[in-house]
Amino acid sequence: MRHGSFGSVTFRKIFLSYTVILIIPIIVFSSLNVQRNIMEERQRLHDKHISDANRIAVVVDDKLQELKKLGKRLSEESWVRKMMQNTDVYENEFDFLKMLEIRRNFENSINSLNILSFGMIVFPEKGQVFTSWGAFTEDDFFSNVAVFDNETRQQLESAMLDQQYFKVLPPETMRLWGNSKHVIPVFQSLEVVNQPRGVLVLFIDSAYFEDYMHRFGSIESTDILITTQGQAIYRQTQAGLSGGEQGGQHSYELVVPSLESDLKYKISYLDNSVIGINNLFSSLLAILISAAVGALTAFLLAKISYRPLGALLNKLSAALRYDDVKSSLSSGSEYNYIEQSFDRLLLENEKLQRSMQDYEKAAKSNLFQRLLKGYFTDEQQMNGLKKMGIGYTDEMYYCTVLISFHALRDVSDFCQIRKIEMMTLVIVEKVMERYGLDYELFEVTHADKALILSSEDVFGQEGIMEQIVLSITEEIEQACDFHPYVLSGTVEKGLVGISKSYYAANESLQYILFSRDHLPDLQEEAVQTIVEYYYPTDWEVQLINNLKIGNLDTSIQILHEISAENGKRCLSEASTIRLVSLLMETILRVLHELNLDTGIYVKQFAAKAEGADAGEMWSYMYEVVTLICERNRYSNSMMTIETGSQLLQYVNENYTSADVSLKQLAEIYQMSVSKVSKIFKEVTGINFYDYLCRLRMERAKELLRERKCGIDDIAHRVGYENVYSFKRAFIRYEGIKPDEYVDIAM
């Protein structure tokens, strides 16, 4: 799909986009160049205003710090501490002259700050007030000396009872000795406790404070506002100016928090930056030159950007039909090609995902079918369970429940069947949640649904399984107006127990179905021909397959499980002999299929059968199974011999290394440790560690006879990390100590 770049709609759009993108910065740059001087001047003024605002804040904070120091100094005075005690110390410790001196010193401290109207120390527990005029009771002082309105007085008394490190209140109006005053109360606790016994209350005279601010405040600001708790305590405005706009000029506000209290300083300044445009001609010329350069740059960038897109389109066009390509060309955008390609990829990926899910579902269902038929575990099979996310182990307990819809007469009503199946899923989940058991529900051949219950603890006592079966039956019948057959097997331990439980439930189901259809028409004698022994066809098939591949462990396990299960059934002697005879017939059939002579085995088993001793018949059958598996294993061991030779060669060449082990061999040859051990024993006839130690001992004896190095050195040379391990191994294999062997060798 090749065509000229300029003929491409996408290329033209890219070119125009780059052109616009490059011209916009040119315009912005020109504007910024004009505004640069304005911003620099504005920043300079702003920095100056910030410095001025911080200076104003420092001026007020310095005065607040002096107030704090006064409170700290008074809290350290001995007379203040004594007065805070719950005793009357005025008459006992302070005489008249001493009190005059204390009052004079207190008054001098108040007056030295130059902004206070007066101050007092309140002792809330005693209800007393100490001032430079003397000591008063609270009621007497606030009624005759410093008179506030009732609301203000309540606020002051409430503030005295709480711990106040340093708190400034909004301005209040009072009458002091009959004269009206506008003051700012300041509270400072003289003790660091929740309810201090002494509180210093200072009243800043608003007139003094205003004079102080006029002397040390700012001459550049238009407005100074000091607030506490959102309320103004001081405001200073330049004559003829106010906030907002002054003479067409805008003002802005700086807020500086106090470092000494909760005050906030809001200072307003005029924005005096001058707006102008310099070098207009130079700016216009720069715009024209930059536009030409930008257009050329945009063209080059468009070519570079379109190149990978064109390469991608050429690759994707092969995946589209000609009609799709033609349709996309007519639409005028290459992105239609990409959209169609990715739509197709997403559709194919979705199909692949559905296929994988269907495969996993089928594989899981197949695995559950195998569990029902008899899952005789080995390492590979256990890995299969883990891969499918099935956490079953041989230490868990299981029970199989079959749910059959055979009682449904009209099997052509698919809507009803679908409804029953959906309701079964919901009901089983609800019942299992009620009893707290893990479960897996899937379809089976002989019934409609199979339910495997599992738990790490034994369950089924006190008729729980009967209750579960009854609950599922009744709820399905109530929801679907249909009575299903729900049958449970026995609760068994181990994975093979799933199969045992399944066959027990299946036997009950088949008997019910047989009884429903045929039992009324049969004679009583015919009913008595039910088979007593336990020998499932699926187990027989697995026994045959394992015998053919020489899997001795699994074959013995199958026979053992058959023997154990039939032992639970307390078979009669005739039934036991019949069972063993059927098993032997299966084994003889395997011998015949392997082209082995079965005559001798038939004669020997017949001799055992004549004695009617089931124990001897079982023992002989185990011997024949062992012989078959051993023969098949060695007959199929060419690859085993080759691998064993490689293992043997590696050990012979590296036996003096301390790192040689079954684990190392398993990692090198990518096998399990158990498999390496098994192959090594098949090839050498002895186990791995006996063979390794024998090689090391023979080499050690050679070195001991040469007498060229010590025992410690010999131990390390033959692969032992310490001499103690070497001596112990030498005694075990040679019967004497290494130094005794040296003496004998001489």
- pLDDT confidence bin for 377, thresholds 50/70/90: low
pLDDT grade for 399, boundaries at 50, 70 and 90 = very high
Per-residue pLDDT of 484-511, as tens digits, reads: 889 888 888 888 888 888 888 888 888 7
Residue 245 has pLDDT above 60, yes or no: no
Q: Considering only residues 410 and 626, tell me which one the structure prediction assigns the higher pLDDT.
A: 626
Share of the chain above pLDDT 90, in %: 1
Contact 228, 263 (CB under 8 A): yes
Tens-place pLDDT, residues 94-126: 777 888 888 899 889 888 888 888 899 998 888
Tokens, residue 68? 């704090």
Average pLDDT over residues 585-594: 81
Contact 378, 553 (CB under 8 A): yes
- Averaged pLDDT for residues 129-147: 88
CB atoms inside a 10 Å sphere around CB 535: 17
- Buried b / exposed e along 71-104 (16+ C-beta atoms within 10 A): beebbeeebbbebbeeeeebeeebeeeeeeebbe
**What confidence tens digit (pLDDT) does each residue in 616-661 have?**
888 888 888 887 777 666 554 556 667 777 888 888 888 888 888 8
Q: What is the mean pLDDT of the chain?
A: 79
Whether residue 193 is predicted with pLDDT greater than 80 in this model: the reply is: no
528 confidence band (pLDDT: 50, 70, 90):
very low
Report in angstroms the alpha-carbon separations of 397 from 504, 506, 507: 15, 19, 21
Dihedrals phi, psi of 207, to nearest 5 degrees: -65, -45
Contact 673, 666 (CB under 8 A): yes
Other beta carbons within 10 Å of 583: 22
Joined together, the tokens standing for residue 273 give: 């930056």
Listed range (230-239, 256-265, 313-322, 615-624) with the worst mean pLDDT: 313-322
Comparing C-alpha atoms, which of 183, 167, 189 is closest to residue 262?
167
Question: CA 723, CA 169: separation in Å to the nearest integer?
Answer: 88
Helices and strands (DSSP H and E) totals, the chain: 27, 18
Tens digit of each residue's pLDDT (9 = 90 or more) over 285-323: 777 787 788 788 878 887 787 777 777 766 666 555 545
What is the predicted pLDDT for the residue at 292? 81
Please list, in sequence order, all residues whose beta carbon lies within 8 angstroms of the beta carbon of residue 599, skipping any fewer than 6 positions away.
none
Q: Predicted confidence band at 408 (pLDDT cuts at 50, 70, 90)?
A: low
Q: How confident is the model at residue 201 (pLDDT cuts 50, 70, 90)?
A: very high
